[in-house]
Amino acid sequence: MAPKHHPTPLSGGDRKALTKELRRARAVTTILATRSAEKRAAGEALIREADDLLCQSWNEKMWADGGPVDPSPAIDQAINAGYPWARDQMHPLQDAARGRPGRPATRADNQRA
């Protein structure tokens, strides 16, 4: 997007007013951008906390019920909550989905042969 052009007014008072308004608009832009970044960081922290609570809740349900509990937290929720081992558990699944060597054979593979 091209920068907006403000024609310079002819009178001195109008030039001063335009300069003042442009300065105010630039200052407000900086303030709003800073507030946006702060709110985004606070929101991301709240989402991280919510993901952590979801993982803890699921873990307690697993322990109390002694078996699989559905729905379980998603892998990205566990990673966001601070459980990096979930990423390590995901690599073999991703490799299998991409068809890399060492993936388990499926029924479709047997039918093709």
pTM reported for the whole predicted model: 0.56
Q: What tokens were used for 40? A: 């985004």
Mean pLDDT for the chain?
79
Residue 47 is predicted with a pLDDT of 96
Distance of CA 51 to the CA centre of its chain: 12
Mean pLDDT calculated for residue range 2-6: 71
Backbone phi and psi for residue 56, each to the nearest 5 degrees, phi listed first: -65, -40
**Cβ atoms of 69 and 60 closer than 8 Å:** no
pLDDT tens profile 7-59: 777 788 888 888 899 899 999 999 999 999 999 999 999 999 999 999 999 88
